[in-house]
């Protein structure tokens, strides 16, 4: 029996975001947008979904007079990512 894949992470963009955040302390919206090639609107929607799932935190603030959105992977998000990777390994090994 194959393990169930987390539907939140089974989206290409959401998986890319989690993968990026797993390797850094935090990342701002512009960096994530550049690295994923996503549109601002699509990225914003996907960040909201990850945040609602408790996988990331999203902090809005300012750097000088410029608005800045910073995302951080939560412990729950890291655990979900690890489980997702383990599930994929199960798929590959069969």
CATH assignment of the domain containing 29: 1.10.10.10
In a domain, 61, yes or no: yes
pLDDT in tens, 46-70: 999 999 999 999 999 998 898 999 9
In a domain, 73, yes or no: yes
In a domain, 71, yes or no: yes
- For residue 57, give the H/E element and its range: strand 56-63
What percent of the chain stands above pLDDT 90? Answer: 90
The confidence score (pLDDT) of residue 35 equals 97
Say if residues 51 and 4 touch (Cβ distance below 8 Å): no
Name residues whose C-beta falls within 8 Å of residue 75's C-beta, 6 or more positions apart in sequence: none
The confidence score (pLDDT) of residue 1 equals 83
Average pLDDT for consecutive 10-residue bins of the chain (94 residues)? 92 97 97 97 98 97 92 98 96 89
Say if residues 51 and 57 touch (Cβ distance below 8 Å): yes
In a domain, 24, yes or no: yes
The confidence score (pLDDT) of residue 17 equals 98
Q: Looking at beta carbons, which pairs linking 35-44 to residues 24 or more positions away fall under 8 Å?
A: 38/13, 42/13, 43/13, 43/17
> Considering its fold, how many domains does the chain have in total?
1
């Amino acid at each position: 029996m194959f393990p169930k894949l987390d539907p939140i992470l089974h989206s290409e963009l959401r998986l890319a975001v989690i993968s990026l955040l797993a390797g850094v302390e935090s990342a701002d919206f512009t960096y994530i947008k550049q690295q994923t090639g996503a549109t601002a609107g699509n990225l914003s929607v996907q960040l909201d979904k990850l945040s609602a799932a408790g996988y990331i935190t999203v902090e809005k603030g300012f750097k000088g007079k410029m608005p800045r959105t910073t995302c951080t992977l939560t412990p729950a998000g890291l655990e979900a990512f690890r489980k997702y990777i383990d599930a994929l390994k199960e798929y590959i090994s069969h």
